[in-house]
Structures are given as structure tokens and as C-alpha cells.
Amino acid sequence: MTRRIVVVTAGLTVPSSTRLLADQLAEATSTQVTARGESVEVDFVELREVAGELATFMVTGGIPTPRLTELREQVAAADGLIAVTPVFNSSYSGLFKMFFDALDPDSLTGTPVLIAATAGTARHQLVLDHAMRPLFAYLRAVVVPTGVFAATEDFGSHGLSDRITRAAAELAAAVLSQGGYGVGGFAPDLAARPRRTSGTQVEVEVTPFGDLLRGHSGTD
């Protein structure tokens, strides 16, 4: 079975330290998944490329563009998510928040998530626990224990490499065991995977509008 991991990165520049960290996390996670005998596909979502479409979504009362609809479906169908943001004013970026505001509330239910952030100084590292974890807890995602924060001076250090490896191993294990949360040699029951919705499909059992109005006289 091929596992699909979506990497959401909110870097604004090219090149971007946020994208660099996202690449390292994606590569490490792919290595961990394949080492366990599974195949993996990784899709990157560069939020700066859909910034205008996210703004349109917000000011039109939640009407998504075709590209945004595609991204919402992609995230809802993912087996795992890597979310990386730069730090602005001691929190995740506005662009990062706009994207997750645009998702259906049930799109990340039970999804394993690895959170990461970049900043110019280590003083912002609490963004992982004070901003990002609460956001994904609200969305009912399963955030792996190790978050990865990288200040400018961290890149190329053994400490950062060790954190990336540890977080990637946790995400890979969560991705491969989700559904039945298999233990002790028992294979996970993939049919038990939490129900997720992208919010882009009409429910099959929706009552037709004509049926709702049947017998209504048109007067109050």
C-alpha cells in the first residue's frame, strides 16, 4: 500500500528556510516509511502560491477556487501531514492560519501530523507548544510528540538532524499504524480509520430542496 504524506509549507521567499526544513522532514519521513517496507508519495503545498485564492475564500464567505478545492481534498485524503511555518510575531504566519481555516473541520480528524517552525532566533521555539499544538488539537489531528524548531543557526547542526530523525520516525510509525492503532503484532485495521471529509463533496443522503418545500403554501 502506498502512503500519502502532504507537506504544507508557509515560507514566503525563494529560497526559504521554511521550505528547506520541510524538505528535510519529508525526506527523513520517506526514508523511515520505506525502511518499514511500505511505499510513500509526498505532495508539497506551497501556500504562497495560493495566497490570493485563500484571501478570495475568506472574503467570499467560504467559496473555494478550483485549486483550493483540490488542495482541501488532497489534505483530507492524506495518511499523514507535515506542517511547517515561519514565525511572525511569536506565532504561526497569517497565511498558515488562513489555509487551515479554509479546511473542513473534519478534514484532519485522526490524521498524524508533524509540526515544525523556523525563525531567526531560538527565543521563538515555544510557538510549537503554545500555538501549533492547540491549533491541530482543535482540528482533532494526532500530533506526534516531537516538534521541530529551527533557528537560523540550527541549520547544519547535529542537534537539528537528530530532532528531524526522531520526529520523522514518530510520524512514520503513526502513519503506518493509523486506523487500527495496531499493537503487539496485530495488523492495523485500516477500515477503522477515522472519517474525514474535505467539505467539497455533497453528502449522498441530502434531502432534495423540492422535498423540503413540498406542501408549503408559500405564506408564513
Tell me the DSSP string of 125-165: TTHIIIIIHHHHHHTT-EE-S--EEEEGGGTT-HHHHHHHH
Per-residue b or e along 76-91, where b marks 16 or more CB atoms closer than 10 Å to that residue's CB: bebbbbbbbbbbbeeb
Domain assignment present for 182: yes
Residue 43 maps to a domain: yes
For residue 54, the model assigns a pLDDT of 97
pTM for the structure as a whole: 0.83
Q: Is residue 141 part of a domain?
A: yes
Residue 101 counted as domain residue: yes
Number of domains into which the chain is organized: 1
- Give yes or no for residue 180 having a pLDDT over 80: no
Q: Which residue has the cell 531560538?
A: 122
Whether the CB-CB separation of 9 and 22 falls below 8 Å is answered with: yes
pLDDT at 37: 93
Q: What is the span of the domain harbouring residue 158?
A: 2-213
Of the chain, the percentage scoring pLDDT greater than 70 comes to 83
Look at residue 217 in the predicted model and tell me its pLDDT.
Answer: 66
pLDDT value at 201 more than 70: no
Assigned C-alpha cell, 57: 475564500
Closest CA to 34 of 70, 5, 8: 5
Give the separation between CA 21 and CA 127, rounded to whole angstroms: 16
More confident residue, 189 or 135: 135
User: Would the CA dihedral through 92, 93, 96, 97 be positive or negative?
Assistant: positive
pLDDT of residue 195: 58
The answer to the question of residue 37 being in a domain is yes
How would residue 70 be classed by pLDDT, with cut points 50, 70 and 90? very high
**Higher pLDDT pick, 126 / 214:** 126
CATH number of the domain within which 127 lies:
3.40.50.360
Give the pLDDT confidence score for residue 71 in this predicted structure.
97
In a domain, 39, yes or no: yes
Does 219 reside within a domain? no
The overall average pLDDT reported for the chain is 88
CB 45 within 8 A of CB 34: no
Average confidence (pLDDT) over 68-96: 96
Question: If you average pLDDT over residues 24-30, what whole number do you get?
Answer: 98
Q: Does 220 reside within a domain?
A: no
pLDDT of residue 113 exceeding 80, the answer is yes
Above 90 in pLDDT, residue 200?
Answer: no
